[in-house]
């Protein structure tokens, strides 16, 4: 998350301002994980990111179909799975949207979920180039 800071006085350090803007992806955890990898070993971060990118379109398709069919149980399960992997790769925007879908499905309905699935697709479009750059930066 990128937020501006404000000095409270010239003698004190900068303090963060309240910020509602969230970056589509926070790659700091994956970068830290990459730093822990031993040289010459397969890139675990690239494997995680590749799995996320390859599986997410299918997960979104399940969400789209469950929403259209009014299948709250499938919506909840698919949203839960997507939320987990989105959290793993730091796709915060997708995580938040998937959590909303999961809660709606848990409540036993699908009203309003088609718009959230569309928002998830847009969030993936914003996250994909960031994750591709991270994956390819070996």
* pLDDT tens sequence across 82-103: 999 999 999 999 999 999 999 9
Q: How large is the average pLDDT for residues 30-43?
A: 84
Q: Where are the alpha helices (DSSP H) in 28-112?
A: 28-36, 44-69, 72-89, 92-106
Residue 120 token pair: 């998830």
CB atoms within 10 A of CB 18: 5
pLDDT at 138: 66
pLDDT band at 6 (very low <50, low <70, confident <90, very high): very low
With 90 as the cut, is the pLDDT of residue 77 above it? yes
pLDDT at 27: 86
Domains delineated in the chain = 24-136 (1.20.120.160)
Average pLDDT, the chain: 85
């Amino acid at each position: 998350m990128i937020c501006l800071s404000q000095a409270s006085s010239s003698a004190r350090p900068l303090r963060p301002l309240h910020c509602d803007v969230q970056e589509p992806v926070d790659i700091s955890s994956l970068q830290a994980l990459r730093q822990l990898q031993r040289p010459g070993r397969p890139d675990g971060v690239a494997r995680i990111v590749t799995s996320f990118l390859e599986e997410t379109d299918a997960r979104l398709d399940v969400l789209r179909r469950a929403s259209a069919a009014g299948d709250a149980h499938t919506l909840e399960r698919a949203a839960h799975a997507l939320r987990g992997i989105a959290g793993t790769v730091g796709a915060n925007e997708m995580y938040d949207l998937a959590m909303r879908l999961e809660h709606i499905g848990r409540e036993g309905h699908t009203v309003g979920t088609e718009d959230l699935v569309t928002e998830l697709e847009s969030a993936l479009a914003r996250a994909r180039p960031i994750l591709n750059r991270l994956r390819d930066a070996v």
